[in-house]
Chains A and B, each alone.
Chain A
Amino acid sequence: MSGVTDDLGGKTIVVTGATRGVGRGIARYLAGRGARLVVSARGAEGLATLSTELDELGASYVARTADAADRAANFALVDAAVETFGTVDGIVANAVTSNPPVPVEELTDEDLDVPFDASVKGTVWLMQAAFPVMRAQGHGRIVTFGSNAALNGVPTYSAYSAAKEAIRAITRTAAAEWGRHGITVNAVCPVSVRHHTPGLDDPEALARFERGFAKQPVPRDGRLEEDIAPVVGFLLSDSSAYVTGQTMMADGGRIMLR
């Protein structure tokens, strides 16, 4: 097919928030396809566990502790990619931090600051760190994360949702600014609840989720490596060279954004 493939072998990708949930699934997926990784998370313990998994997969990788809200820490991740692998082909700005859900009328400064510092600013800092390298080489792939909770509106998730929609706006803006350098910027809205939603040991909560999944076209929860990560993989690959400023749903058809 004229040499255009979704082969990720040898590409250098930075993945933040890589030790849990969606980020871990993406890291494992990319490692399994021969990508060279810089993986990060706040906790050293989680990174040690992930490192063991990546070793078992035979991956080439660097693991770094990093707080996504720390601008310098994001730049250090890109520096690590360049120092170790010579470049950075793509970034996956997945790290997210949020406070417990609260109603809008009770939102505090901190409730808003936490997701905006780690998710919104963290995404921007990582994008800024990667931009000079990508501009110099004339190509780059940036993947950010929105949320179906933000698209549909879910009670008590206003701060998290506002941050996620802000990320989608930044995604489109950066796509418009950086396209001329061969850099694509796209967002993914994944749905996978089992790994992170509190209360799934509660049979009633579990039953409620199952009822929701049953109504989806693909009637099950999203699998991290099999359903979510391949969508991210497409946006990191040469196959998506002409796709930018877009949001792709990885949600089994639940929302059908547009």
Chain B
Amino acid sequence: MTAQQVRVVAPGASSFAAELTAALEGAPTGDCVVYVCGDVGAAVAGALDALDTDEWDRRAEQVLRDALTALQDAHRVLSAQGGRVVVVAPTVGIPGAPGLVPFVTAVEGVRAMVKSAARQWGAADIAVNAVLVPIELLVPATAGTTAYLPPPALGRPPTVVDVAAAVAAFADPARDGVTGATVVVDGGSVMAP
């Protein structure tokens, strides 16, 4: 990467990634790779008792492999000069989501990957952080699957600009002491712990 670039990587993601890229245009950031964990093909509701191994591979293993590949690629392009990695993922990994067991399991796996990568790469000046957003923002077809969650305290649905602002904050070298962190951009729905 050349200096001051942001690269958004989003295998299988919806139009969210394109909107995020546009919203980040002109943001004051350093070198940064943004990975969007929102594969519309994986976030498909299904009954846990009927889950077979093929479906597990498609909706959990593939999500983890995609994230692993993205982090490895990010390390490759950032290792020379350091930089930031921001993983955008749905909040459902924290409270769980009925019907989305493989995807939710993978999402929490990706967050574990973020934290482990942060611990491995911190000394190389590569910070790795996660921004969590409501799943329906990433995969609109999942609307309603998190109806059990409290409504956002801020009383309005999220926008891509809300997410871009948080991503840009983590992409800013001024906050290079922050790594392995998760910030939830959901208007105050999921606050635990």
Contacts and interface: CB of A to CB of B under 8 A. Distances in A.
Given A1-B25, A1-B27, A245-B188, A180 B154 contact: yes
Contacts of B152: 179, 242
A228 B188 CA distance: 23
A175 B153 contact: yes
Interface string A217-258: 111001100111011001000111111111111111100111
Given A179-B152, A256-B118, A242 B187 contact: yes
Contacts of B26: 1
B164 A245 contact: no
Assign chain B's interface to a size class. Answer: 35 or more
Contacts, number: 148
Given A244-B154, A258-B182, A217 B123 contact: yes
Q: A interface, how many residues as a size bin?
A: 35 or more
A182 B187 CA distance: 10
Contacts of A239: 165-166, 168-169
A172 B191 contact: yes
A4 B165 contact: yes
A107 interface: no
A1 B188 contact: no
Nearest to B154: A179
Nearest to B162: A242
B39 interface: no
B114 to A, nearest CB: 9
A176 B153 contact: yes
B183 A222 contact: no
Interface stretch (B9-17, B30-38, B45-53, B172-180): B172-180
Given A176-B188, A219-B123, A242-B186, A253 B181 contact: yes
Contacts of A6: 165, 168-169, 172
Contacts of B120: 217
A234 B166 CA distance: 8
Contact of B122 (A216, A234, A248, A249): A216
A3 to B, nearest CB: 8
A1 B154 contact: no
B185 A250 contact: no
B121 interface: yes
A193 to B, nearest CB: 14
A147 to B, nearest CB: 14
Nearest to A214: B123
Given A239-B169, A258-B182, A219 B122 contact: yes
Contacts of A245: 153, 188, 191
Contacts of B127: 217-218, 253
A168 B116 CA distance: 26
Interface string B121-135: 111000100000000
A16 interface: no
A1 B179 contact: no
A2 B168 CA distance: 12
A258 B122 contact: no
B36 to A, nearest CB: 17
A118 B120 CA distance: 39
A2 B118 CA distance: 30
A161 interface: no
A258 B129 CA distance: 11
Interface of B: 23-28, 94, 115, 118-123, 127, 150, 152-155, 158-159, 161-166, 168-169, 172, 174-188, 191-193
Interface of A: 1-2, 4-6, 172, 175-180, 182, 184, 216-219, 222-223, 226-228, 230-231, 234, 238-253, 256-258
Given A216-B122, A242-B154, A244-B153, 4 more contacts: A4-B165, A218-B179, A239-B165, A251-B177
